[in-house]
Amino acid sequence: MPLSSSGYDPFWLFRWPLSGNVNERITAPWFSPSLTVNYAGDARIEDRVVTEIASYGRQLGWLIEIAIALAHKQDLHSEALRHIEEAAAKIEKIKKEVHPSALEAAAEALDRLERDRPAEYEKLLSERQRKERK
């Protein structure tokens, strides 16, 4: 039987859940506020950059470290410069993966059109060929 501060608690059986002295930390995701990120650029690229390469805070930290070194006319022998260079190369790779060339995008679109709507595909080809003859 649970005891009260005075010793015995005759009503211990009639307590509701969480009505007593509860001091547990509850950290469940459904208690966290919802976070919406409004990216300045392409959301697909920015999401991959912050999840695969480095958070905005980490990227900003590298840039601040470099800016301070430059402001004090110090040599840039820091790891920050190496991190920035590596991140830039990885970001370029992601951009190429997310945004294929115009030719690749057109070829994909034509393949989809041919597969999903063959009549419209044939009509488009006929129109393009007619334009070329003029």
7-44, pLDDT tens digit by residue? 666 666 666 665 655 555 555 555 555 555 666 677 88
Per-range mean pLDDT, top range of 8-17, 83-92, 105-114 = 83-92
Q: For residue 79, how many C-alpha atoms fall within 13 Å in the half-sphere facing its CB?
A: 2
Give the number of C-alpha atoms closer than 13 A to the C-alpha of residue 101, restricted to the C-beta side: 3
Phi, psi of 24 (to 5 degrees): -95, 150
Distances in whole angstroms, Cα of residue 83 to Cα of each of 45, 59, 62, 73, 114: 18, 9, 7, 20, 45
Residue given tokens 């003029």 in the structure block: 134
Query: Does residue 84 surpass a pLDDT of 90?
Result: yes
Report pTM: 0.49
Tell me the per-residue pLDDT of 112-128, one tens digit each, with 9 for 90 and over.
999 999 999 999 999 98
- Tokens 């070329």 sit on residue: 132
Query: What are the extents of the domains in the chain?
Result: 101-134
8 membership: H or E segment, kind and range: strand 7-8
* Run of H or E including 4: strand 3-4
Is residue 52 within 8 Å of 94, Cβ to Cβ?
yes
